Structures are given as structure tokens and as C-alpha cells.
Amino acid sequence: MRLLVTRPEPDADRTARALRDRGRQALVAPLIHIEPIPDAPIGEGPWAAIALTSANAVTALVAHPAKARLLRVPVFTVGARTEEAAHAAAFAHVESAYGDVAALASLIVARLADRTKQVLYLAGEDRAGNLEALLGEYGIAVHTVPIYRAVQATRLSEAARSALANDRIDGVLHFSRRSAEAFIAAIEADRLRERGLGLRHLCLSAEVAAPLIAAGAERVEVARRPDQQSLLELLDQA
């Protein structure tokens, strides 16, 4: 089985290695490219905690001048990958919800003793879920700072177009709603809609799967948990 990996680098290569370890072939063709926002206006605080829903936010923060003064602020992450990135960036206190945005909000509510200070949410310009509203229900104020942006490709790579046109792709891995939407737009632009939607589509969550189902894809599968391990486990199912 040969699978198309459309998520941004460097995560795309990490996923490709995991696929090869499982005896699958991978074609890496990112449809989303991540750019840090170097002048993102991170205020002085004080902050009760930092919320992170993507490792991309950590990557962007590492190059930001505000990083040093934030290292001792407690960090709460949505999943294991972001948790690992935060540890690698030398944050002193990191804890993961190992779930989605709702799970992250629940973790912050459970751990946050001082609700007089704001939670600093370092995020992308486009993001799923509404962490601000979820925490607001408990009287926790959130200051959101977009620290990176996702730039969408308009076409598939030449290698991906050729492979899809010649039936050399069996499925696509989708890690975000944005990348799923980008895939749909790209196969439309490349006049490969029927072939593209006819593939097996493996999705990180129901939110990610929604645009594919709406577009008419019939072979859409959703991981039991929103992490790469659970997504790849779908490959073992007939």
C-alpha cells in the first residue's frame, strides 16, 4: 500500500518513517507549509499558564525573543507531540491532555489554581476548536496570540499528481481539517477529483473527516484517538 502524506514538514517525514516501519510506502507531498510570525505581540503577562495546541507553536516560539521569560510558566499541551516539543524547548513544567481541545480545556480547569491571571494561548492564525470559549465557561480569561501561519498549496506536487493519475496511490493520511480541505482543492485544480475522492482516507478525527465526507468521499475512516499511532492503526483494519 502506498500512502500520500500531505501534512507539513518536518512532521511529514516523521510520519513517512513510521509508515515505512510498518512496511508501507509513503509519498510525502505537503499541502500546508508553516511559517512563524516573528513579530507576534506576546505581552509581558503575568500569565497563569501557556496553552499549546500544536508543536508548530513551540517551533515558532523558540525563535521568538519572548521565549526566555516564558520558560518557567506552566505549559499545557493538547497532545504528546506538542508535549515533547515543549520539553525539548526547555520549558520547566509541561503536562499534556493527550486528547483534543476540549480535553486540554478540562486539564487546564483541573490544574489552574490562580484564575486571576490570563492563560496565554499561542496558536496558529487558523485553528480548530474554541479554547477561549471552553475556558471562559469557568471564568478563565485567555489571551490568544497567533504565532504561526499555515500557507496552503494550490496544487499537488508533480510526483503526487503523476502517482494519483496513474493509480499509484492507495490512500491519504489527513492530520488536520485544513490539510483535508487543501487536498480537496488541489485535486479539483489538478482535475483529479474522482480519483482523489475514490481513495481510502484515514483521518485523525471526525472534524478532519468532515470536509472529505461533504465532498463525496466514501472510504473515510477516523482514528479512535487523535494521535498518529491511532491513525496508523487504521491501516491494519481491512
Q: pLDDT (tens digit, 9 = 90+) per residue, 45-80? A: 899 999 999 999 999 999 899 999 999 999 999 999
For 111, the domain range is 35-150
The count of other CB atoms within 10 Å of the CB of residue 105 is: 28
User: Could you tell me the three cell numbers for 109?
Assistant: 480547569
Shared domain check, 40 and 130: yes
Q: Report the alpha-carbon distance of residue 134 to residue 184 in Å, rounded.
A: 30
Q: From edge to edge, which strands make up the β-sheet containing 75-77?
A: 32-36, 142-152, 118-124, 47-52, 75-77, 94-96
Q: Say whether pLDDT at 188 is over 90.
A: yes
Shared domain check, 141 and 46: yes
The count of other CB atoms within 10 Å of the CB of residue 92 is: 11
Shared domain check, 157 and 146: no
Give residue 185's pLDDT.
97
Shared domain check, 79 and 48: yes
Give residue 238's pLDDT.
61
CB distance 133 to 112 below 8 Å:
no
CB distance 153 to 9 below 8 Å:
no
User: Closest Cα to residue 76, out of 59, 53, 46, 60?
Assistant: 53
Q: What is the pLDDT of residues 3-44, one digit of tens each?
A: 999 999 888 999 999 999 999 999 999 999 999 999 999 999
The CATH number assigned to the domain holding 86 equals: 3.40.50.10090
Q: How many CA atoms lie within 13 A of 37 on its CB side?
A: 17
Shared domain check, 116 and 194: no
Of 112, 127, 150, the residue at which a domain comes to its end is 150
Shared domain check, 129 and 86: yes
Shared domain check, 53 and 128: yes
Shared domain check, 45 and 103: yes
Shared domain check, 161 and 208: yes
Give residue 237's pLDDT.
83
- The mean pLDDT of 127-142, rounded to a whole number, is 91
Shared domain check, 17 and 64: no
Of 150, 173, 198, the residue at which a domain comes to its end is 150
DSSP-derived letter for residue 8 is P
Residue 79, classified by CB atoms within 10 Å of its CB into exposed (0-12), middle (13-18) or buried (19+), is buried
Shared domain check, 211 and 181: yes
Sign of CA dihedral 96, 100, 105, 106: negative
Of 150, 181, 201, the residue at which a domain comes to its end is 150
The number of distinct structural domains making up the chain is: 2
